[in-house]
Amino acid sequence: MPEIRLKNVTKRFGKFVAVDNLNLDIESNAFITLLGPSGCGKTTTLRMIAGLETPTEGSISIGDQVVFDAEKGINLPPNKRDVGFLFQNYALWPHMTVYQNIAFGLENLKWDKKRIRQRADELLHMLHIEAFENRYPSELSGGQQQRVAIARTLAPGPKVLFMDEPLSNLDAKLRMEMRTELKRLHKDTDSTFVYVTHDQLEAMTLSTKICIMNGGVLQQYAPPLTMYNAPANLFVADFMGNPTMNFIDCKVKAEGDRAELSFGDVGCVFHAKGEIRLKGDTCVLGVRPEFVRIGGEGHPATVYSTLPAGMETTVKLNVGDNLLTAVVFGDVDYPADSQVHFSFTDRAILFDREDGGKSAAEGTVKLL
Amino acid sequence: MNMLRVKGRVRGWFSRPANVILLIFFVTLVFLTLYPLLSLLTETVTIHTGREARAAKEAAGTVSLYHFQRLFATAENDYSWIQFYQPFLNTLTVSLSSSLIAIAFGGVVAFLVTRTNLRYKKFISAVFTFPYIMPAWTLALFWETFFKNVNIGLKTSNGIMASVFHFFMPEWFVYGAFPIALVLGLHYAPFAYILIGGILRNMDANLEEAATILKTKRARIIWRITLPIVKPAMLSTFLLVFASSMSAYSVPVFLGSPVRYYVLSTKMKSLMDSYPGQAYIIVGVMILFGVAILLLNQRVTNSRKQFTTVTGKSGQISRINLGKANRPVALLLVIILLMVAVVPLVTFAMESVIVKAGDYSPANMTLDFWIGTNLDQRLDQGDSTGILLNPKVWNALGFSLGLAVTCALVAGTSGILVGYGVAKRRGSRLADMVNSLSFFPYLMPSLAFGAIYLSMSSSFPWLRGFLLLALVGSVKYLPFASRSGVNAMLQLSGEIEEAAVITGVPWWKRMLRVIFPIQKSTFLSGYLLPLVSCMRELSLFVLLVPTSNTILTTMLMQYSEKGWAQFGNAINLLIIVVVLLINFIVNKLTGASIDKGVGG
């Protein structure tokens, strides 16, 4: 089983640094997501591993084979790396039928006709596209093209599969459906998946581990729930989760694992799991919307707007100068400008702006 | 009630500017293209006065199938073979080979420039369109003056190759099918370069990368993926080059006629004077050919294998590293381009300053043919002053420029309007018809087009001189303009205009203030191409000019027919310099370029 290892990989386009000194270990059989906003270097990273792009510095190995090493001058072409690649726009060959598209790669491997037919049939069946075998790509819908592209990529049975935002051209419903199937596919094919997306929900639901990048720099590399509950910095905390985390600028008096916070006329106390590492006397309190409770005891707030979505309701609250987001389960409706009380129920994180937005402590927060 | 509904519908239809434009152009184009076609058909079955009537032994004006019988089925003295079948086969040979040369040369260079890390790319792509900007006969004339010698052809004098390098080329190399196909191929290679290069540049690189990942070898990728995808562009190039080569007149005249190698166009010209009926039949055959290729082209490109429009991250094209081959390939290309684009100019300059042909020593050189006076006393060479002091030349230059600008304005503006109408009503039958009609003049051989308009003008006495030339030029160059117009409009999302409609901006203002500025450079290319083509047009106007001194190109023709080689070469150089200058200035000022006009 191949394990992919990136060491000090840097890619520059002229003066622009697309990927900056990236170190990454991808365990075999993992489903890794490269996540980040557009232009963060995630696609470039993927293309470098696949061999479609040449890194400026560093080394990459797949399994026990070094496929790239800038110092030793090793650069294996993509066709020698034994990988599969699923493109964002599918890149189906417009002049070949579905069958020809799938069979093409197998012909390159000099398989005999019967075996190609067999394998193609297997894939056509697996992806439910038997009916389109003789059609051209332009005669298929987006979802069907997607399946053909997957079939074509899977045909030679690659042990590593790269996917570059494969679902971004599909509509919301189809995307949901394909997500389920991709996850199933990962289990059935027993391969390592490396997946690029800018959709945090996709990353959360699919991956075994997420690698989140910004401006070419790795921000955090962790399993989805770790990333959600213990983000390494403000960027990660902000990127993960929808609706996004509440960030409240506070004045702080910290001592050991306890801190007193205040914002506006609100005061609260924070209990950290370990020692609080702050550089100054301010911090950013991060609270997920599901840990902001409305009703019962608490501090008064004004409802700014309510967004009921059926299963849960997102409520925006004005507290002094801060706009807080709360999520309430069930379809509760609060009229705009009505007065409510809010409180913090559980987990929270302290970030230190003076330390580049790094996480300073994890713990729980309560109103005073 | 019903009447009201019909009225409302009609008013609704006419309230859309696109409909009105299409209707106007439909009517005009039917008259300007189908009427000539019809009159062409009548000419083929009419006995004309003079030799034709005597030969047919019938009264002039009689309707008869005599011409067909004579041209296609006269075994006596191999008449049909000599007059039709042989030239027909020659045309096929020449047009097919020139298309293949153009596609191969232009396509390979396009591939090298867009897909590899070739050196000197900038120079190569800048100079590559030169041969098209220059008149086609330039290369032909160059080929002849460079390689001719006293052993072959008209056996008049030695060219540079023979007199300077003492290398006597064989006849097949200097005259006949080989040089004609080569010269036409080189002349039209820019078409291939522009059309195929455009596809290669816009082609999704992921298509090739997907094949690479699936362990496909380089050669197989090019053969199985790249080539099939540029196939439509190759077919379009084939259509354009084949049609153009077939109707090319000046190149086969210079390189074929001296050794009695005739193609349909030159045969038609020689038959036109004595047996116009047969000449018109040849025109008809040529048009049929063009239409057949056009239909074939449409069939192939409209197939199921069309391209999906989902675009990917195509910015990341990985260029092939040519490695050690890079420099030799680049140098070879540069040398070829210099030979094709720069050396001819130098040759013309040389030829225009030597007194005695074939002698290239400095003692034999003079600038008299450019700026000399009282030449008739010193030289046996027609005009008495050098061309830059000759008012006739300046008059002709002025007329040519005026004509070119007029044609460009009319054709270019019409092209934009046709583009607007066709794009807005895309898929409707009227739009399709206008689209095809506006391309039709391209398939008409220039010489024949001129001939037909000449005969048409006799029914309209006011249609003479400048007006006639301007009309013919505008119609003939409309295909270029309408192509770039349609392309420009199709790239523009309808919402852009609709946003202006909502706020109540009138149609003309939408065109001038919204649509035109956005696609300015493509539209302007639609003006540039007719301008350049018109400036160097010969065969279209040769039958229509009142005197041969009217425009520069016919003047050049006259001078070279009279054997005033130095004047001819000087005027030739003048034309080329003017054309290159116009192209350069327009390109620098507006960003319009020939390639946008052809490729869109």
Closest Cβ–Cβ partner in B210, B220, B225 for A87: B210
The reply to whether ipTM tops 0.90 is no
pLDDT at B206 over 70: yes
Question: Which range (A209-223, A288-302, B378-392) has the least confidence?
Answer: B378-392
Contact criterion met (CB < 8 Å) for A91 and B204: yes
Cα gap A3→A62, rounded to integer Å: 6
What does the pLDDT read at residue B308?
Answer: 39
pTM, two decimals, is 0.77
Cα gap B372→B353, rounded to integer Å: 11
CB contact set of A132 (below 8 Å; sequence gap of 6+):
A98, A139, A140, A144, A148
Q: Is residue A149 within 8 Å of A117, Cβ to Cβ?
A: no
pLDDT at B316 over 60: no
pLDDT confidence bin for B318, thresholds 50/70/90? low
Contact criterion met (CB < 8 Å) for B213 and A145: no
pLDDT confidence bin for A209, thresholds 50/70/90? very high
Tell me: do B307 and B217 sit in the same domain.
yes
SS3 content of chain B, % helix, strand, coil (to 5): 75, 0, 25
Structure tokens at A235: 């960027």
Q: How far is CA A173 from CA A143, A179, A180, A243, B241, in A?
A: 10, 10, 11, 20, 49
What does the pLDDT read at residue A119?
Answer: 93
pLDDT in tens, A121-136: 999 998 889 999 999 8
Q: What is the mean pLDDT of residues B274-282?
A: 87
Range of the domain at B98: 65-351
- A169 chain-B contacts, CB cut-off 8 A: 310
Tell me: do B396 and B337 sit in the same domain.
no
Selected residue of B207, B213, B220 to mutate for chain A interface (largest A Cβ count, 10 A): B213
CB contact set of B597 (below 8 Å; sequence gap of 6+):
B480, B481, B483, B484, B525, B526, B528, B529
Cα gap A270→A284, rounded to integer Å: 12
Question: Which range (A143-157, A198-212, B181-195, B492-506) has the least confidence?
Answer: B492-506
Tell me: do B69 and B20 sit in the same domain.
no
What does the pLDDT read at residue B309?
Answer: 38
Tell me: do B93 and B169 sit in the same domain.
yes
Q: How far is A79 from chain B (nearest CA, A)?
A: 4
Question: Which range (A160-164, A356-360, B359-363, B503-507) has the least confidence?
Answer: B359-363
Tell me which of B321, B351, B381 is where a domain ends.
B351
Contact criterion met (CB < 8 Å) for B310 and A89: yes
In a domain, B300, yes or no: yes
pLDDT at A174 over 70: yes
Question: Which range (A211-215, B218-222, B235-239) has the least confidence?
Answer: B235-239
pLDDT confidence bin for B303, thresholds 50/70/90? low
Q: Which residue has the tokens 């039928």?
A: A97
Contact criterion met (CB < 8 Å) for A88 and B312: yes
Phi, psi of B457 (to 5 degrees): -65, -20
pLDDT in tens, B459-472: 777 878 889 999 99
Question: How many residues belong to chain A?
Answer: 368
pLDDT at B99 over 90: yes
What does the pLDDT read at residue B97?
Answer: 96
Virtual CA dihedral for B534, B539, B543, B544, nearest 10 degrees? -10
CB contact set of B404 (below 8 Å; sequence gap of 6+):
B473, B530, B531, B532, B534, B535
Tell me: do B39 and B69 sit in the same domain.
no
Contact criterion met (CB < 8 Å) for A152 and B216: no
Radius of gyration of chain A (CA): 25
Tell me: do B401 and B298 sit in the same domain.
no
pLDDT at B369 over 70: yes
Cα gap B546→B82, rounded to integer Å: 32
Cα gap B167→B148, rounded to integer Å: 10
- A53 chain-B contacts, CB cut-off 8 A: 316, 318
Cα gap B457→B517, rounded to integer Å: 38
Helices (H), B275-380: 276-301, 326-337, 343-351, 368-371, 375-378
pLDDT at A55 over 60: yes
pLDDT at B379 over 70: no
pLDDT at A2 over 80: no
Contact criterion met (CB < 8 Å) for A78 and B213: yes
What does the pLDDT read at residue A32?
Answer: 94
Q: Which residue has the tokens 């100054």?
A: A280
In a domain, B248, yes or no: yes
In a domain, B7, yes or no: no
What does the pLDDT read at residue B499?
Answer: 82
- A43 chain-B contacts, CB cut-off 8 A: 313
pLDDT at A177 over 50: yes
In a domain, B59, yes or no: no
Strand partners, A261: A252, A268
pLDDT at B381 over 70: no
Closest Cβ–Cβ partner in B206, B213, B306 for A94: B306
- A103 chain-B contacts, CB cut-off 8 A: none
Contact criterion met (CB < 8 Å) for A52 and B231: no
Tell me which of B351, B378, B410 is where a domain ends.
B351
- A145 chain-B contacts, CB cut-off 8 A: 308, 310
In a domain, B588, yes or no: yes
pLDDT confidence bin for B133, thresholds 50/70/90? confident
What does the pLDDT read at residue B314?
Answer: 46
Q: What is the mean pLDDT of residues A13-25?
A: 91
Q: Is residue B99 within 8 Å of B195, Cβ to Cβ?
A: no
Query: What mean pLDDT value characterizes chain B?
Result: 83
pLDDT confidence bin for B9, thresholds 50/70/90? confident
Q: How far is A332 from chain B (nearest CA, A)?
A: 40
Question: Which range (A108-112, B89-93, B294-298, B435-439) has the least confidence?
Answer: B294-298
What does the pLDDT read at residue B599?
Answer: 43
Question: Which range (A42-56, A105-119, B281-295) has the least confidence?
Answer: B281-295
What DSSP string describes B424-486? HTTTSHHHHHHHHHHHHHHHS-HHHHHHHHHHHHTT-TT--HHHHHHHHHHHHHHHHHHHHHH
In a domain, B4, yes or no: no
In a domain, B10, yes or no: no
- DSSP conformation class of B320: B
Contact criterion met (CB < 8 Å) for A85 and B229: no
How many folded domains does chain B comprise? 2
Question: Which range (A136-150, A338-352, B216-230, B355-369) has the least confidence?
Answer: B355-369
Tell me: do B22 and B77 sit in the same domain.
no
CB pairs under 8 A between A and B: 93
Whose CA is closest to B237, among B404, B337, B364, B95?
B95
In a domain, B60, yes or no: no
pLDDT at B311 over 70: no
- B229 chain-A contacts, CB cut-off 8 A: 93-95
Contact criterion met (CB < 8 Å) for B209 and A53: no
Tell me which of B289, B324, B351 is where a domain ends.
B351
pLDDT at B496 over 90: no
Strand A339-344 relative to strand A292-308, pairing: antiparallel
pLDDT at B370 over 50: yes
Q: How far is B111 from chain A (nearest CA, A)?
A: 19
Q: How many CB atoms lie within 10 A of CB A2?
A: 21
Higher pLDDT among residues B592 and A300, named by residue: A300
pLDDT in tens, A28-51: 899 999 999 988 899 999 999 998
Phi, psi of A18 (to 5 degrees): -85, -40
Strand partners, B63: B46
Please tell me which residue of chain A has the smallest CA distance to B309. Answer: A138
Tell me: do B109 and B139 sit in the same domain.
yes
Q: Is residue B251 within 8 Å of B136, Cβ to Cβ?
A: yes
Q: How far is B318 from chain A (nearest CA, A)?
A: 7
Tell me: do B188 and B243 sit in the same domain.
yes
Q: What is the mean pLDDT of residues B567-574?
A: 86
Which CATH number do you get for residue B473? 1.10.3720.10
pLDDT confidence bin for A1, thresholds 50/70/90? low
Contact criterion met (CB < 8 Å) for A89 and B220: no
Q: How far is CA B149 from CA B158, B173, B344, B372, in A?
A: 4, 12, 17, 29
Tell me: do B325 and B406 sit in the same domain.
no
Closest Cβ–Cβ partner in B207, B214, B306 for A108: B214
Tell me: do B31 and B74 sit in the same domain.
no
pLDDT at B377 over 70: no
Interface of B with A (CB under 8 A): 204, 206-207, 209-217, 220, 224-225, 228-229, 231, 304-308, 310-313, 316, 318
Whose CA is closest to B324, among B108, B116, B126, B110?
B116
Contact criterion met (CB < 8 Å) for B215 and A109: yes
- A136 chain-B contacts, CB cut-off 8 A: 304-305
What does the pLDDT read at residue A274?
Answer: 84
Phi, psi of B297 (to 5 degrees): -60, -45
Tell me: do B337 and B478 sit in the same domain.
no
What does the pLDDT read at residue B600?
Answer: 35
